[in-house]
Each structure stands twice: as C-alpha cells, then as structure tokens.
Amino acid sequence: MVKSKRFTKLLLYIFAGAVAVYLLLPLLMILLTSVGSGSASKFPPEGLTLKWYANLGEQTQFLVAFKNSLIASTGAVLLALITGTLAALAIVHYPFPGAGIMRAFFVSPMVMPKITLGIAYLILFSKMHIAGGLFALILGEAVIVLPFVLTLVGSALANLQSAHREAAADLGAGPLRIFFTITLPQLRLSLLLSGSIAFVFTFDQVEAALLLLRQDSYTLPIQLFLYMEKWQDPTIAVVSVVLIAFALALFMIIKLVLRSVPGLESLFGGRKNKRRSES
C-alpha cells in the first residue's frame, strides 16, 4: 500500500514536471531568440547580442501602441467591472421574470465569434461617428469581457450570507450604504480575479481592434503584425520578452494586493499552508 502511494506520488511529480517543461520551453526559446546575432529569428541562435534590444528602443511605434493597449484595456476592464457588478447584483439579489434569459444574453459574447462582433461594432460605431478611436474600442472590449465579470461576481454574490446585510438593514442602513460597506468588501476577491482575467484577455485582443481603430491609435498586437509583415528580425522576440516581464510584474502586484487584504491570500492556500507547516 505504501509502495503504491509512493509510486503514484512519483508519477504525479513526473507529470507535473513534464507539464512545467512544456509550458516553460517556448518562453525559453523566445528568450534565446531575442539575443540571437542573426538578422532573422532563428533557434538555436548562431551568436549572442543585445543589439535587438537597442533596436526596440528605436521603434517608437511600439511604445505608443503599448500605451494605447494599456488605455484601452484599463478602460474596458473598469467599464466591465462596473456594469457587470451592477448586472450581477440585479440578477442575483433582485430576481425578476426573465432573469435567466438576461444572464444568458449578457454571457453570449463569450461564445460569439470575435470577428463577427468586430464587424457589428464597426457598423454600429460608424453610425454613432465614434469609430476609429480608443473610446470605441473600450466600449467594444467591455462587452467582450463582461461575461467574465458577470460569471465570477455573480457566483460570489450567490454565495454571500445575507445575515450581515439584514443586520445592517435592521440598524437603519440604506441599500447604497449596505452595498458599499457590506457587499462590496466581500466581492474584492472576485472583482480582482475577474478584472485580472479581463485585462489579460483585452490586452492582446486583435479582431475588434483591427476593424475599429485608425492607424494613429493602433494597439500593440496590431503593430506587431504590421512589423512582422516588413521585418523578420528578433525584435519581435524582444517585445515578447518585455511582455513576459510585464506579466510577471503584474502578477507580483496582484500578489502584493492579496497580501494587503487580510484573509484573501489564505483562499489561495498561502498563509494557511505556512501555518500548517509551522505547527
């Protein structure tokens, strides 16, 4: 029995290690390609150099596109968090006839082909005379990531205990005060998770951005495609390395936020496991 458990444990370790190597190998290849001395992306590299990092500094269009991507993603996430939370609150806490159909309608952009949504937004925003700028992209991407917020926040709202809200109401608190002092603090984790997922999803969104934006407001994925049409040098790999570093920094920021909120990190097993190991 003990040997069987050890064998199963060993198999699981090998499987986890194989998955980790499978996930890390492409990132390692990107890193090595970014320092290759050749004029084209090639693996393994013939030599090592940092000249492509210097070349990235000369490509100012990438910096402008990165700023546009940050603005569009942040705006879309904030809009989706506000509208998604209010919609989830109405559906879960104040159910009405047809609430299930309304939830399915809000979630439908998740299964809709993105190119179809992009064409629909192009027609709609052209009629509204706002197509071509980041504002139109923010409106379009907010709808695309709304299902993430509605699903995660709606699940959190459904699992909240009503005792605290009922006690606050008995003490004379109004609906707004109950929402900001009782409900919203309990939704911090679901808001953080849904916002993080939505930000990552919108940051590399291509379909809607390609149809909606003018040339002076292109986002980073579009500029990468345009650069690859002209050049095949390792600068694209350098941009990928920078984006990986950006994602790691974002992860560390989320980790710090989780540590700053008592009780949240224990939901991921961090402090809880530490206490167990200490005991």
Give the model's pLDDT for residue 261: 61
The 10 Å CB-count burial string (b at 16+, else e) for 102-119 is ebeebeebeeeeeeebbe
Query: What rounded mean pLDDT belongs to the chain?
Result: 85
Residue 213: per-residue pLDDT: 86
* pLDDT tops 90 at residue 16: yes
Q: Encode pLDDT of 25-65 as tens digits.
A: 988 988 888 888 888 877 788 888 888 898 888 888 899 99
Q: What is the pLDDT of residue 3?
A: 73
pLDDT single digits (tens) 158-199? 888 788 888 888 888 888 888 888 888 888 888 988 998 899
- At residue 129, φ and ψ (nearest 5 deg) are 60, 35
Q: For residue 137, what are the CA distances in angstroms to 80, 164, 180, 244, 245? A: 13, 39, 30, 24, 25
**What are 86's two structure tokens?**
């209010």
* Neighbour tally for 258: CB within 10 Å: 19
pTM of the full structure: 0.80
Report whether pLDDT(277) > 80. no
Separation CA 243–CA 205 (nearest Å) = 14
Contact 150, 88 (CB under 8 A): yes
Asked if 241 contacts 30 with a C-beta cutoff of 8 angstroms, the reply is yes
Considering only CA atoms, which of 58, 42, 65, 73 is closest in space to residue 216? 65
In DSSP notation, 204-238 reads T--HHHHHHB-GGG--HHHHHHHHHHH--STHHHH
